[in-house]
Amino acid sequence: MITFSKDDIRGMEKRFRANFINSISGFKSANLIGTSNEAGVLNLAVFSSIVHIGANPPLLGFILRPTHVERNTYNNILVKGYYTINAVPEAHALEAHKTSAKYPPHVSEFDKTSFHSDINSYGVPYVQESPISITCRLESDQLIELNQTRFIIGQVIEVKIRGEISGDGYVDMPSLGVAAITGMDSYHKVFAGTRFTYSKPDQPVDIISE
């Protein structure tokens, strides 16, 4: 077992620490956030920080770093009030990763990658190749004082699924070909999962499906 102390972490070379800290929390979702600016230029950027906040009302959050690429996303969200969250197909991981390049605001990532856009009824683009596209309405925009990132929360107002969903509402990511991310740059295919029944004190947990 290797132990890294607070001083060990502080002393890491910058890029090494970025890889390390971005890795240790485990698997992350792989999503493309689609936005539009006032001139109608469509933006697309890969994010691995989408987090479930609650189901009723349906809320999803994500972390925005104070960087260039993501400032396009941020400015567009503030202007339009709507954005889309599109699952990265594992087969298109390289194209998704390309959207992390820092293009200027007048360049659309839809022109720099193989992804195709469609504009929904809220005026924001979704990704035709994504098996899941979620339209969100901005609800909350909080500065995280600790490191000047932002915590953005949106309400889910439309969901498009190119595939089947289970009878109980569960949507199966592996069968839809959705990727997972680890660290800053690794994209993964995922095995079919094992679903367990609701866990109650001192009662056995059964398998729903595997």
Q: Which is nearer to a copy of itself, 38 or 200 (CB)?
A: 200
Q: Residue 44 in contact with residue 111, Cβ under 8 Å?
A: no
Q: Which is nearer to a copy of itself, 16 or 79 (CB)?
A: 16
3-state secondary structure of 74: helix
Q: What is the DSSP string of 22-37?
A: HHHT--EE-EEEEEE-
Q: Supply the minimum distance, in Å, between the C-beta of residue 12 and a copy of itself.
A: 7
Q: Which is nearer to a copy of itself, 5 or 38 (CB)?
A: 5
Q: Supply the minimum distance, in Å, between the C-beta of residue 171 and a copy of itself.
A: 4
- Rounded distance between C-alpha atoms, residue 27 and residue 66, angstroms: 23
**Tokens read off for 2:** 């290797």
- Angle (CA) 44-169-130 rounded to 5° is 20
Q: Supply the minimum distance, in Å, between the C-beta of residue 39 and a copy of itself.
A: 19
Residues in the chain: 210
Q: Which is nearer to a copy of itself, 4 or 40 (CB)?
A: 4
Q: Supply the minimum distance, in Å, between the C-beta of residue 199 and a copy of itself.
A: 4
